[in-house]
Amino acid sequence: MTMRTHSASVIVPVPSNIRLTNEKFPLDHLRHWYLDPDFAVLAPDLERLFRTLDISCTPSAENEADFILRMGSDPVPDVWRMTVSSSGITAEAGERGGARYAVDALTQMLFASVLTAGRASALLDGAEIQDAPRFSWRGFHLDSARHFQDTATIKRVLRVLAHFRINVFHWHLTDNQGWRFAGKTVPLLDGEGTWSCGQYTPDDLREIAGYARDLGIRIVPEVDVPGHSARLLAKYPQFACDPAAPGSEWCLGNPDSLEFLKRILSELMDLFPDSPVIHIGGDEAETDHWEKCPMCQAAMRERNLHSMRELENDFMVRLSRFVAERGRSPMIWGTCSGQVYPPDTIIQVWLDIREPLKIAAHGNKMVYSVHNSLYFDYPANLSESWEPWMFELSERGVYMTDPYIIWPEKVKDFMLGTEACLWTEAVQQHRVMSKIFPRIFAYSECAWSQPERKSYADLVRRRELLEASGLTDYLKGL
């Protein structure tokens, strides 16, 4: 027999505040539900939930409902509240994101209750729950360039992320091994890749963008330049320093390079009209081609610069200004070269825990993705395949992540939040979910919950109970 646990004490990520009461609400009394009209997009989620758990609950008027999700008076993003009493369940949120999180918390509570008491005797324990996120940016990055994922897989990933209150999907669409979005600017690429084939049509991208919007997730699309571009430059060698041996880096001295990239980014922004942030890459470019290139050498002298890293920075700043002029926020990977970007450029910290201090000194907002804490391609245990540069990254390792690990008073005003990254050099489509689970439980709590509310031992208890309840299988099947 499964040990009885209070149904409100299973929620992942752990809410800001839970007050337990002695009231009980039997699931057999859950017969009617009501959604505020602004939250109607959640109706299919409720219908599937009740159908899965064999709960006969149908929509009704608010005054007849046992579960009510209404619009709250406070429109703060992502905030939600719920009360479970002997007379029913009432939740409220000021916008769609918070409303979805309330439904997802209810989902976890119902699954756990059925597990611990059986369907016939299942009940929800009384509680008053108030919840709000620690960080506004709770991101997950997926590399679709190395190994391609079809649209159905992307949608499943998005739904899982939404369940765990992840609200940013950073989509890595281009790299040396693949160029994954088709369009008018680059019609020569047909989806072939080094390790897998596939390409998203404009209709695919619009469909996924709309699906993410309904889930309350913002997409950050990425075109990775000036390095990581071998797949495109093989088809467009005129934009490389040496067309006979294009390599992976754009020619920084060729003015046509910048103009061509601007057309690509314009098309990308048109395909993602609701994306306030556009990622333009900016890391791990080699300088060898630039050092030997007459056009790059001439551009460096013309602009009174002293190194190819300075020329790279000049090129990327120009590209970031184009994004900013289009009303979006440019974002780049933190660089090893120590170059400075305008304060409106968001920097993604990935190299080490000291980077935030350097970035804050220049006034840039940042997102924390330090690799040995948040790279989900790293093995959860050493029975997995792994590359020489990878650390073992256990669930506990993820859970220990904190962007304020050092000098919090100097970085907290610049830290937007966190982002876990799944690179796919060694991860084919069929392994994506196995890399996300079970560490998504731990990551969601790092991104959402206040540090004083966190306990790794309790996270393991909740995660194991929810896995036993069938929740993970339910989410994977969405």
Q: What is the mean pLDDT of residues 43-50?
A: 97
pLDDT tens for residues 268-326?
Answer: 999 999 999 999 999 999 999 999 999 999 999 999 999 999 999 999 999 999 999 99
Q: Is residue 476 part of a domain?
A: no
Q: What is the mean pLDDT of residues 471-477?
A: 95
CA atoms within 13 A on the CB side of 460: 7
Question: Do 82 and 197 fall into the same domain?
Answer: no
Residue 179 has pLDDT above 70, yes or no: yes
pLDDT score recorded for residue 236: 95
Question: Do 92 and 112 fall into the same domain?
Answer: yes
CB atoms within 10 A of CB 419: 25
End-to-end Cα, the chain, rounded Å: 29
pLDDT score recorded for residue 384: 86
Q: Give me the percent of the chain exceeding a pLDDT of 70.
A: 98
CB atoms within 10 A of CB 298: 11
> What range defines the domain where residue 39 resides?
7-131
Q: What is the mean pLDDT of residues 360-381?
A: 95
CB atoms within 10 A of CB 280: 22
pLDDT score recorded for residue 387: 83
Q: What is the mean pLDDT of residues 154-170?
A: 98
Of the candidates 419, 422, 425, 430, which has an alpha carbon nearest to the alpha carbon of residue 380?
422
Residue 371 has pLDDT above 60, yes or no: yes
Q: Is residue 471 part of a domain?
A: no
Question: Do 161 and 117 fall into the same domain?
Answer: no
Question: Do 190 and 325 fall into the same domain?
Answer: yes
Residue 1 has pLDDT above 50, yes or no: no
Q: Is residue 477 part of a domain?
A: no
pLDDT tens for residues 225-254?
Answer: 999 999 999 999 999 999 999 999 999 999
Residue 189 has pLDDT above 80, yes or no: no
Q: How many residues does the chain have?
A: 478
Question: Do 127 and 199 fall into the same domain?
Answer: no
One-letter amino acid at 163 equals H
Residue 82 has pLDDT above 80, yes or no: yes
Distances (CA, A) of 397 to 370, 450, 470: 12, 17, 25
Q: What is the mean pLDDT of residues 95-122?
A: 94
Residue 2 has pLDDT above 60, yes or no: no
* C-alpha span between 185 and 164 (Å, rounded): 36
- The number of domains in the chain is 2
Question: Do 262 and 277 fall into the same domain?
Answer: yes
* C-alpha span between 108 and 64 (Å, rounded): 24
Q: What is the mean pLDDT of residues 315-339?
A: 91
pLDDT tens for residues 198-210?
Answer: 999 999 999 999 9
Question: Do 124 and 149 fall into the same domain?
Answer: no
At 116, is the pLDDT very low, low, confident or very high (cuts 50, 70, 90)? confident
Q: What is the mean pLDDT of residues 79-86?
A: 97
Per DSSP, 223 falls in state: E
Question: Do 283 and 374 fall into the same domain?
Answer: yes
Question: Do 61 and 176 fall into the same domain?
Answer: no
In DSSP terms, 368 is beta-bridged to 349, 418
Q: Can you give the pTM of this predicted structure? A: 0.97
Question: Do 330 and 389 fall into the same domain?
Answer: yes
Q: Is residue 373 part of a domain?
A: yes
Give the domain-ending residue among 96, 131, 166: 131
Q: What is the mean pLDDT of residues 116-121?
A: 86
**Starting at the edge strand that comes first in sequence, how are the strands of the sheet with 32-35 ordered?**
17-26, 123-131, 80-85, 88-93, 67-71, 32-35, 58-59
On whether the CB atoms of residues 176 and 229 are closer than 8 A, the answer is: yes
On whether the CB atoms of residues 201 and 147 are closer than 8 A, the answer is: no
Question: Do 303 and 166 fall into the same domain?
Answer: yes
